[in-house]
């Protein structure tokens, strides 16, 4: 069950943050996403220490708390995608697929000539697409 997805820009400014569980405190997700940014920074500056390849886009599990797991993805343009999930047994391939589709939706949203680069993404079409991707997350694949 995905709890929250977030897109953070190059200057660590939030571009899009959406939570998918009712009744939870939104601010808590903002806080979790913010802490994960530090982990991303660390991973990017010390590739050997943390074991991930220098130029991989998918950063893997960043930050396990008692209720949530946070996965990260860094694009070539230094935009970060974060996924907060409550599942305990998430497959790596599922998360990679999620980020691939999310990246495609993000690129389409940013290509909108009315979108101002660096400002929040306010496209309804993007929100709907993200909702659809989130719903199909973790669906069993044959």
Partner 1 sequence: MAAPTGEREVAESCVEWVSMEMVEAYCRRLHPTKPELAGRRIEAIGYQVGLQLAERYTKERPRFTDHLEAIKFICKDFWVEIFKKQVDNLKTNHRGVFVLQDNQFRWLTHISLDSPLYNGDRVTLETSLSNNAVMAARAAGQYLYFPCGLIRGALTNLGVPCDVSAEVANLPACSFIIRIKA
Which residues would be at the binding site for partner 1 (CB under 8 A)? Answer: 53-57, 74-79, 103-104, 106-107, 110-111, 113, 117
Nearer to partner 1, 86 or 123 (CB): 123
Nearest approach in angstroms of CB 22 to partner 1 is 32
Nearest approach in angstroms of CB 99 to partner 1 is 11
Nearer to partner 1, 32 or 74 (CB): 74
Helix axes 92-110, 124-135, angle to 10 degrees: 170
Nearest approach in angstroms of CB 102 to partner 1 is 11
Kindly give, in sequence order, each residue whose CB lies less than 8 Å from that of residue 62, ignoring residues fewer than 6 positions away: 36, 39, 40, 43, 70, 71, 72, 82
User: CA 140 from chain center: how many Å?
Assistant: 21
Q: Specify the residue for token string 């899009």.
A: 16
Nearest approach in angstroms of CB 79 to partner 1 is 8
Contact 37, 8 (CB under 8 A): yes
């Amino acid at each position: 069950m995905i709890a929250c997805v977030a897109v953070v820009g190059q200057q660590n400014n939030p571009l899009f943050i959406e939570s998918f569980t009712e009744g939870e405190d939104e601010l808590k997700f903002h806080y979790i996403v913010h802490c994960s940014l530090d982990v991303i920074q660390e991973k990017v500056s010390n590739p050997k220490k943390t074991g991930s390849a220098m130029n991989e886009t998918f950063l893997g599990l960043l930050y396990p708390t008692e209720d949530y797991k946070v996965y990260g993805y860094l694009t070539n343009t230094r935009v970060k995608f974060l996924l907060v999930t409550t599942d305990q047994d998430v497959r790596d391939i599922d998360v990679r697929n999620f980020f691939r589709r999310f990246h495609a939706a993000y690129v389409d949203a940013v290509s909108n000539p009315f979108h101002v680069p660096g400002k929040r993404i306010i496209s309804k079409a993007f929100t709907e697409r993200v909702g659809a991707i989130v719903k199909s997350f973790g669906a069993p694949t044959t």
